[in-house]
Structure 1
Amino acid sequence: MNNLTKILIGVGAATAVVLAVLFGPGVLDPDRSCATGVVKPEGSDECIGVSATGYHFGVKEIQEVARAIGAENRTVDDSEQLAVSVAVMMPFSSKAPEQLRKMRHELQGVYVQQRLANRAEGRPPKIRVLLANTGNLGHYWEQVANQLVTMADGPEQLRVVTGIATSNTANKQAVALLARHHIPMVGSTITADDITNVPGLARVSPTNKDEARALVSHAKSVDRSALLVYDTNPDDRYAQTLREAFNEQLPDQVYEPTQFTSSKEPDNPGNLGNVFNSIAHYICDTEAHTVFFAGRHTPLRLFVSELGRAGCAGRGFTVLTGDEASYLGSDEKMDRQALAVRPGEKKPRVTLKYAALAHPDAWVEAPGRPLPATGGSAAAYRQLADGIAEMRADIGPNQLQDGQTIIGYDAMATAVQGIRRATGTSAKAPALADVTAQWPHLTGSLRVNGASGWICLDNYGNPRNKAVPIVRLAANGTLRFQEFSWPDQKPPPVDCIPKRD
């Protein structure tokens, strides 16, 4: 019996037990089975669970890259070498087109890193990738998290869960459950400050507090008339903690912040067009030229449109926001005219800038734009870019502008580095606790040289003074890199180790 057979049997057995308990015995009906380890819960058409074979959950957007991951997993299982698993947990059957595109890009980065890691000579163990679908809006997070817990002691030898890409209540609860069972985690694009300091959790993206610090640093000086617009949706941890971070950076503003409440469905605009029309009137009644926006991409799209149509828009506004704005580069509903210079006007009505998690131009030297001496390198980014070029036929359509592929790649690199440092020269898979113990030591000379920049983790698993690319959304949809900004207002020291004054 080879490794793959053992794993498939293990996945099937673990799934049968876990899902029978959590979903009820009806899920064991073969008519509700989608693939080994994946079933349709009663009353749902979604395929939910964890796949070791690269199953794509019936989602065509990730079909090619999932197939590539499955093929790489079979190579790992046929090698008879020590192998462990890293699970990518996401709502793969999301109904939101932008989120599906984001997840495809992130998985492409995961696959490139998996391939590169498995071809590195003399670096055990080999890495298998599991795909864990929590369903649209993450509704089945608990069932899937419990399924992953069983795999830590199973033949899959799960050692890290990565992905966990959205800062919402479902992911916050999933992280807490996995932490209770001592499962190491590497968050990719989660930035909320209240999903932090969790035992076993490391992250490769700056927190919202660091994004806000970088934006204010980029703005050089923010006068007291700058205004905050924020979302009150209680389930959106991204918006809530970004608002708190902006408030901390804008302590003495003349004007009261103004608010809106988004839908629980990420793509549902509801009545926000009318709400933002009223907010635009309010902004026109102030002397504000700069607006800080704490909210997701759908409300942001509507806000920019209404602000660009406002009667006072000719005076020009700069909107500064967090990384969610990266979605708008490919959003066909975006009102491009709001970002354009109109006939008879000298500047765009709205200039939209955001704190990106990564950008493909950031670590590529250009005329008049030398690279920072510390904080990242062109060589680290080039390794990813070369991998994408080599593997393009395997992973399907890709574009790097939104940064998701880069961050997925870096999250996987962090997971692999933690696992392999915990393994050392041992012939056995490392203990879960030994992997977690590596996170605060991935700094200094042991930092992760990510394609997005240096990942120097602090004692709480957060990247310290991570490079933040400031990006502007152009009227043609291009996401244009402007400059680096740093949460500490300057790049990290050459050794990536902070020193007390």
Structure 2
Amino acid sequence: MTRDSHVRVVSPPPAGPGPAGGFAVPEGGESRPNKPQEAGERGSGMPGFTAGDGAEEFIEAFKGAVLPRDRKATSRDLLPPVLLLAEGERAAVRAHQVMRGLLEVLRPDGAKRVPYAALGPDEIREAAGRRPLTLALGEELCVDVPRRTGGLRLPDFHLMRDIVEQALDPRAPEPDGTALRDHCYARRIARGPLLGALWTLGGEGGDGGGTTGPGWVAELRRLLVRPVFQSLPRWWWGRRRTRRLLRSTRRGWYADWRGISHGRTAEEFFENAARLLRAERGRDRAAAVGRFEELLLRALLADLRRVARPGRISPWRRRRRTRCVFLLELPEDAGGAAAGERFLERYGAAARDTRCAAAVVVAVAPAGGAAEGERGGLGRAAARLRGASGVPQRAPGPLRAVLPEPAPESEALEPDAVSPPTFRLGPVAELTLTGVLVAAVLSGLGGWLLERVPDEPDRSCLGGASSEVVAARPELSADSPRKSYQDARRLIREENARVDRAVADHHGTARTVVHIGSDVAADQEGQRYNAAVPELRGIALAQRALNDEARNDSQKVWLRVDSRNAGQDFADAPRIARRVAEDARKKGSGIIGVVGFSKSLRQTQEAVRILGRAQIPVVGTTATADLMQVDGYYRRVAPTNSREAAVEAGFARRGNIMDDGTGKCSPAAAAVVVKDPRDLYSDEVGTLFAERFGARPVTLEYTPGGRADGGAQGPGEDGVARTDSISDLADAVCERISGNPRTVVYWASRALQFSAFLDDFEDNTACEGRSLTVLGGNDLTTAALAGEYADRPWLRLYHTVHVLPAGHPRLSDIARKFNADYARRFGSHDLWRDDGRAALAHDAMQLMAEAANRAYRSTHDVERSNVQIGLDNGIRKQGASGYLDVGRGRSVPRDKPVIVLHHTDRGSEPVLYCGAFTQNPAGRITRWGPHGEFRCPRDS
């Protein structure tokens, strides 16, 4: 199973809008918010659960089962699997909301707090009778384990997985013990560096290194090297498997399952496994899959029982305070539901046989598709979870509990999340630190370190002499910005007309995506700072490409784009958002979501909040502020301010960016942060950079058009000084860099104010002729690429962008195609080709379209609720701006690329690029620096 085959959490329910997080849907009524949502809250409550009828008691029992107070409970008290049944006409939607609620308990901030795996209806339906469900659960359990707890080692499960996958492969030959051992050992080599290194030393392909060299050397390698490094490790590995699984009384669960007496068989494990495979190949496929499900469950639970044993000395065991959680959302159809319930029955038997109490299993399902059986309330289920004691004599069957119907005026619950203890260090780091401290005390390491003379550090400057592909200076268009803006809108109108013709000719289904963008400046100068034109161009290119796909594939949706102008700096964004919400409620509107919001402003934040209350999915383009995330209906394709600030602070602290005048450079020793406290983006990113840079940087606040209270002020206890004008700001910066020449200026304000600052700094301060190093955000990028800051030899400028320049070798095939399409339509020297805004707008449309197409394939009824569910379930897609891995608790793609460019006379060259540019591991850049000596920040 590849990483891409990991489960997608929770598949879409049948057609029709359903309740979302924090909303209770009365019988036969419209959805309504349970209570007002405060600014910045994630939601008004836990989806799918309402107060009363034992819901609070069940949630508390669920949390207590996941994180028991008694450390020994995870190895002692076996819990029965729980099946929650949703009744009523909207049972599938309710089941989906309950699943979302349980997931939010386990990952309240988008990151795993507890090791868990989840399966949605599509995965269960697809696997029923064809593949064991445990294959997907075991693989997902090992992905993104909670931070600083160490990876889950599941050796028995991985071995049985290799055997079962071999059995399910129709192309595999008839198995025998030796061939099966060799196949499993090859898979084991691929997972472990040590065995892989030994095999490599033995020679490529197992030939002992070939026959190169003199004859006696080749013969010696054949007779000695291959047996020592290949044959002997493989034989020893197979012998250990036999001793542990067939002959060990403590870990021989396989012998128990096969009915073999421990230590009384001369048969080897792989011979027995091959005999099992030959016997199962002659049986019905579904029966064989059920038998393999039992095998995999026992292997997985045996591994979990071992890793969950409590301990206070081992740093790994001390961190494993929680049980592992398995969540299943059973499908509505009888076949898929039956497969899920058979899994629950097999789990109970496997847990009893392996005496594994380290797992919690909860399934949710529409009651109509579930098998008949004794059903109780949530209170009874809670009591059983709390009252588990030891391992029962009989295999525990599924504990069925009926979910209460939500009352019209009931309030959604707001339970605390499962919060296991957090640790400052990971287990490997703690163990290493302990060893280092002991070694230092025993060997006098401290004195040796003091006597060491450090090597001369590398002082070559970052940028200026690189052979990297540059973002070349463009040719400024003679067209006015208004004309470019209108031309982009015309492309969208023409494509909308094409969609209308296709629908009129019965060639497809169409839906509408609303774009909310800003107005464009009327003069040529404003063209350099406004994102409206490239954003519209990116949307137009994406719309055309997506509709070409819909023309060729009847399972895809045609898309109209309704572009709405929110005015200069999004002044009308809240009003436009209210109008969109009103239009979306009209029958037949066809509106499935919104893209846009290229700036992080108070007014765009409010507009996103309004759309979230109307349950309209939103995919943002270039707005990066963390505070834009006001609810679960908002996603974006640009990295957040917190990620950018982490990258930029590390770049300033470690990169050689400060020129001392001799051509040698060193990292910044101090920083001055310039920000606008009334600007959402500027205030947040400036504050985050100051926190991550350290060394108590001074922050200078300046608001255009507004006077600071009481005029210019010096820095207070918080290190913040407020300035009254651009000239005061320039003087304050000059004073700081005069006191410490290794001071970098972090410009968090907008580009218009930066140009005015440079004019005053050059002419009206005491720093005339002094070198100035500036690190700026994405707002400076378009102006820098357009040559706005050229002819200033005293300025050393670094600025961030979200795409690599066109032609860079790290670009994915999708990015190269997008750049070629953009060049054909708008020119290869266009002003906005390399600043990333068009690519991000293109990717926002791609995410919205992918969610719509999934909903159409599943239900043939594309509504906003189904599109939101598609985004919730997770989308992995290659985009023009990098690899898009969103959903499943994430509102921003994981490890979204961040690039730092150095502004030069010939253009801007990349000096740092971090993130997931492609899905391929080779396209995930994790280190930066001239020699790759620095680690890129990673998303949790």
Q: Please classify the TM superposition score into its range, dividing by the shorter chain length.
A: 0.7 to 0.9
Tell me the secondary structure at the aligned position of residue 654 of structure 2: coil
* One-letter code aligned to 2:672: L
1:148 maps onto 2:577 in alignment: no
One-letter code aligned to 1:221: R
- The correspondence of residues 166-185 of structure 1 with structure 2, limited to 5 A, is 166-185=599-618
* 2:686 aligned with 1:243: yes
Report the Cα offset of residue 382 of structure 1.
1.5
Structure 2 residue identity aligned to 1:242: V
> What one-letter code is carried by the residue in structure 1 that aligns with 2:903?
L
**Are 2:784 and 1:357 aligned?**
no
Q: Secondary structure at the match of 1:276?
A: helix
Q: Is the 8 A contact 2:625 2:641 kept in 1?
A: yes
- Measured in 2, the distance between the counterparts of 1:134 and 1:100 equals 17
Distance change (3 Å), C-alpha of 1:70 and 1:328: same
Residue type of the partner of 1:145? A
Q: AA paired with 1:64?
A: D
Task: Report the Cα offset of residue 116 of structure 1.
Answer: 0.6
Answering whether residue 327 of structure 2 is matched by residue 327 of structure 1, we say no
Aligned-residue RMSD, C-alpha: 3.4
How far 1:305 moved relative to its partner?
4.3
Residues 250 and 218 (structure 1), Cα distance of their counterparts in 2 relative to 1, 3 Å cut: closer
- 2 CA distance for matches of 1:172 and 1:315? 40
Using the TM superposition, give the Cα deviation of residue 257 of structure 1 relative to its aligned residue in structure 2, in angstroms: 2.9
Deviations 1:169-200 (A, max 9, x none): 11011000001001100100000111125221
Quote the Cα distance in structure 2 between the aligned partners of 1:424 and 1:197: 30
2:512 to 63, 85, 91: 85
How far, CA to CA, are the matches of 2:642 and 2:920 in structure 1? 17
For residue 535 of structure 2, what is the aligned residue in structure 1? Answer: 106
Question: What does residue 497 of structure 2 align with?
Answer: 74
Q: CA deviation at 1:280?
A: 1.8
Q: CA deviation at 1:101?
A: 4.8
* Partner SS, residue 841 of structure 2: helix
Alignment counterpart, residue 257 of structure 1, candidates 699, 709, 712: 699
Match of 2:904 in 1: 474
Amino acid at match of 2:735: H
Residues 673 and 748 in structure 2, CA contact (< 8 A), matched pair in contact too: yes
Task: Indicate the percent of aligned positions where both proteins have the same amino acid.
Answer: 21
Distance apart, 1:76 and its partner CA: 0.5
TM-score of the superposition, structure 1-length normalised? 0.73
Q: Do 1:160 and 1:415's aligned partners in 2 also have CA atoms closer than 8 Å?
A: yes
Q: Which amino acid aligns with 1:381?
A: A
Structure 1 residue matching 2:490: 3-state secondary structure: helix
Structure 2 CA distance for partners of 1:428 and 1:217, relative to 1, 3 Å = same
Contact kept? 1:359, 1:400, Cα under 8 Å: no
**What code does the residue aligned with 2:750 have?**
R
Structure 2 residue aligned with 1:215 = 648
Contact 1:93-1:133 at 8 Å conserved across structures: no
- Describe how 1:42-441 pairs up with structure 2 within 5 A: 59-80=482-503, 81-92=508-519, 94=521, 97-98=526-527, 101-120=530-549, 121-122=552-553, 123-154=555-586, 155-219=588-652, 221=654, 225-234=669-678, 236-253=679-696, 255-263=697-705, 271-307=725-761, 311-312=766-767, 316-329=771-784, 334-338=788-792, 340=793, 349-361=794-806, 364-365=808-809, 371=810, 377-392=811-826, 399-429=832-862, 431-441=863-873
Partner Cα separation in structure 1 for residue 939 and residue 754 of structure 2:
39
Question: d(CA) in 1 for partners of 2:572 and 2:830?
Answer: 28
User: Residues 473 and 308 (structure 1 numbering): CA distance in 2 closer, same or farther, change over 3 Å?
Assistant: farther
For the residues of structure 2 that align with 1:397 and 1:73, how far apart are their CA atoms?
Answer: 25
**C-alpha separation in 1, matches of 2:513 and 2:528:** 21
Task: Tell me how far 1:379 sits from its aligned partner.
Answer: 0.2
Residues 529 and 779, structure 2, Cα contact 8 Å, conserved in 1: no
Q: Secondary structure at the match of 1:124?
A: coil
- 3-state SS of the aligned residue for 2:899? strand
Alignment match, 2:891: 461
Q: Following the alignment from structure 1 to structure 2, what is the Cα–Cα distance between the partners of residues 479 and 75?
A: 39
C-alpha distance after superposition, 1:357-396 (max 9, x if no partner): 22433x721xxxxx3xxxxx42011221232244449x99
Matched residue type, 1:146: R
Residue type of the partner of 1:189?
T
User: Computing the radius of gyration over CA atoms, which structure comes out larger, 1 or 2?
Assistant: 2
Q: Deviations over 1:314-333 (max 9, x none)?
A: 6633211211111323667x
Contact conserved, 1:289 with 1:316, CA < 8 A, in 2? no
SS at 2:895 equivalent? coil
- Whether the 8 Å CA contact 1:453–1:467 is kept in 2: the answer is yes
Instruction: Determine the C-alpha separation between the residues in 2 that align with 1:401 and 1:118.
Output: 25
Letter in 2 for 1:466: K
Partner amino acid for 1:69? I
User: 1 CA distance for matches of 2:771 and 2:938?
Assistant: 42
Length-normalised TM-score, structure 2:
0.40
**In structure 2, C-alpha distance between the alignment counterparts of 1:397 and 1:331, rounded to whole Å:** 10
Give how far 1:495 is off.
11
Cα distance in 1 between the residues matched to 2:547 and 2:760: 50
Residue by residue, what CA displacement relative to the aligned partner does 1:8-64 show, whole Å, maximum 9, x if unpaired? xxxxxxxxxxxxxxxxxxxxxxxxxxxxxxxxxxxxxxxxxxxxxxxxxx9433111
Structure 1 316/389 Cα, relative in aligned 2: closer, same or farther at 3 Å?
closer
Change (3 A) 1:500 1:132: closer
Q: Distance in 2 between matches of 1:195 and 1:212?
A: 16
Query: Any conservation in 1 of the 2:521–2:527 contact (CA below 8 Å)?
Result: no
CA contact 2:781–2:800 (8 Å) conserved in 1: no
In 2, the alpha carbon distance for the partners of 1:453 and 1:151 equals 33
**For residue 326 of structure 1, what is the amino acid of its counterpart?**
T
The question of whether the paired residues in 2 share the 8 Å contact of 1:470 and 1:485 is answered with: no
Letter in 2 for 1:385: N
Return the offset for 1:470: 1.1
Shift of 1:285: 2.5
SS at the partner of 2:531? helix
Query: What is the letter of the counterpart of residue 77 of structure 1?
Result: D
Q: Distance in 1 between the 2:779 and 2:520 partners?
A: 20
Kindly provide the CA deviation profile for residues 440-492 of structure 1, in whole angstroms up to 9, marking residues without a partner as x: 443xxx4121111112225141122111111122346x3333331349xxx99
1:223-275 per-residue CA deviation (whole Å, 9 max, x = no partner) reads 673212222331x111011112102212233x5333322347xxxxx941443
**1:390-422 Cα deviation digits (max 9, x unpaired):** 4449x9966412222111111111221122122
Q: How many angstroms does 1:439 deviate by?
A: 2.6
Q: Report the secondary structure of 1:383's partner residue.
A: helix
Tell me: CA distance 1:450–1:337, structure 2 relative to 1, closer, same or farther (3 Å): same
Tell me: CA distance 1:87–1:354, structure 2 relative to 1, closer, same or farther (3 Å): same
Q: Sort the Cα spacing of 1:455 and 1:307 in 2 relative to 1 into closer, same or farther, 3 A.
A: farther
What letter matches 1:302 in structure 2? A
The answer to whether the Cα contact below 8 Å between 2:671 and 2:698 also exists between their aligned partners in 1 is yes
Matched residue of 1:149: which SS?
Answer: helix
Residues 109 and 67 of structure 1: CA distance in aligned 2, closer, same or farther (over 3 Å): same
SS in structure 1 of the partner of residue 638 of structure 2: coil
Report the residue type matching 1:316 in the other structure.
Answer: S
* Equivalence for 2:103: none
Relative to structure 1, the CA distance from residue 486 to residue 125 in structure 2 (aligned partners, 3 Å threshold; closer, same or farther) is: closer
Write the distance in 2 (CA, Å) between the matches of 1:141 and 1:391: 30
Q: Could you list the runs of 5+ residues in structure 1 that have no partner in the other structure?
A: 1-57, 265-269, 341-348, 366-370, 372-376
